[in-house]
Amino acid sequence: MNLCEHESKSLLASAGVTVPRGKLAATASEASCHAGELGPKVAVKAQIATGGRGRAGGVEVVCGRAAAYAAAQRILGMELKGHRVREVLVEEAVEVQAEFYAAFMLDRSAKAVTAMFSAQGGMAIEDVVRAHPEALARLTVPPLLGWQDFMARRLWASLVLDRSLLGPITDVLARLWQVYDTWDATLVEVNPLVIDGRGELIALDAKVTIDDGAFSARPERYGFVRGHREEDAEELARSKGLTYLRLEGTVGIMGNGAGLVMSTLDAVAAAGGAPANFLDLGGGATAERIGAALEAVTSNQAVGSVLCNVFGGITRCDEVARGLAHAVPALGVRLPVIVRLEGTNASQGRRLLEDAALPNVEVIASMRDAASRAVAICGMGLLETRG
Ligand code: GDP
Ligand code: MN
């Protein structure tokens, strides 16, 4: 579950990290009103749960109420990276002296959290690493120790930063760790973390991802993040030409062709489960549409497992398999995904998924067995013991 900026910043602020003063606006007049209060100079920022908004035109730094109105007018309603912008954050502008990057990120392959810091913040960190790998200092947090202040000194020392920065960096990293640890995050990223005109460290942007298992186990803890996440996913699905309808149950369903999807709903019901949705991939489902479908299905927090049932005709099973093999890790889906492939290129598709060896994806030959499995495993978490 990716939080958007203002949600992420509220967690940072409660841990004592300095963030700019800001207010949400759903209309241009509200934004102009906030600008009057926080300005004259403000940043108007699209609130969608993804990064790279600046480059895509979703962030504007403006002066005065009229300019804030115009910026909000332009940004609200925009489609940015597949998400419709429904709210903007209006923030007092900060005088930026230097831009850093700071993050704690779960590294599944290391089975540990990685701490990262760079003096080259403000740009996409992937680009920094590509051009200057040495500009990003990293450190694996020993799981039994957790984050300790001396680790901040190591990051600081490996980047040869100014002496005066050691104290503030140590302080901010301890607070970011507190957010990571308290909220069962898998990512806490601040880019940029800036030094303002008074030499203070401020989180100008923030991105927090909450572990999906933690979220579904105790959704009430995260009441503040219940936003437009589902509506966004449904809209994304429709914009890709998928038919999506939310139902009341817990087994997420995707299939191709209305008839097959209907019988999949019946198979789930016959196995004692309740379908969470109707999703028709349509004919010729591409890898991209599979991703949008999976995003829509898993955006429903009630979903405890996903059943993908495809009878290949025009739709090729290998294409579906390729889409799943990409989308499951790319979207960070950790729910069990049960796949049944039959028809055109089914054996290639099955082999592809078996080769991808994703711990939470299981291929089952018959539709009835697949439905039973999806119902049985629903809500039981990862299929980590497989293989
Ligand atoms: P992202 O592109 O989604 O990561 O959005 P960011 O919140 O990081 O904003 C993109 C860029 O806008 C930042 O790197 C800053 O350079 C700039 N920016 C955002 N807010 C302010 C501000 O208050 N003052 C200044 N000078 N620049 C800002
Ligand atoms: Mn950013």
Which one of 47, 55, 204 would you pick to mutate in the ligand 1 pocket, going by the greatest count of ligand atoms within 8 A of its CB? 204
Q: Based on the residue annotation, tell me whether 180 is a catalytic residue of this protein.
A: no
User: Do strands 243-246 and 251-255 pair parallel, antiparallel, or not at all (unpaired)?
Assistant: unpaired
> pLDDT tens digit string along 251-305?
999 999 999 999 999 999 999 999 999 999 988 778 888 998 998 999 887 789 9
Quote the pLDDT of residue 381.
Answer: 57
Quote the pLDDT of residue 331.
Answer: 87
Q: Based on the residue annotation, tell me whether 189 is a catalytic residue of this protein.
A: yes
Burial per residue of 188-204, b for 16 or more beta-carbon CB atoms within 10 angstroms, e otherwise? bbbbbbbbbeeeebbbb
The one catalytic residue in 7, 87, 189, 234 is 189
Quote the pLDDT of residue 385.
Answer: 34
- Asked whether 273 and 375 are in contact (CB, 8 A), the reply is yes
Residues with C-beta atoms within 5 A of ion ligand 2: 191, 205
Quote the pLDDT of residue 383.
Answer: 45
- Asked whether 327 and 358 are in contact (CB, 8 A), the reply is no
Cβ–ligand 1 contact at 192 (below 6 Å): yes
Q: What is the Cα–Cα distance from 188 to 288, expressed in whole angstroms?
A: 27
Quote the pLDDT of residue 226.
Answer: 52
**Residues of the chain scoring pLDDT < 70:** 82, 226-232, 381-387
The HSE-up count of residue 7 (CA atoms within 13 Å, CB side) is: 24
The one catalytic residue in 69, 101, 180, 244 is 101
Cβ–ligand 1 contact at 123 (below 6 Å): no
Provide the whole-model pTM: 0.68
Cβ–ligand 1 contact at 61 (below 6 Å): yes
Quote the pLDDT of residue 232.
Answer: 66
Q: Which atom of ligand 1 is nearest to the CA of 92?
A: 23
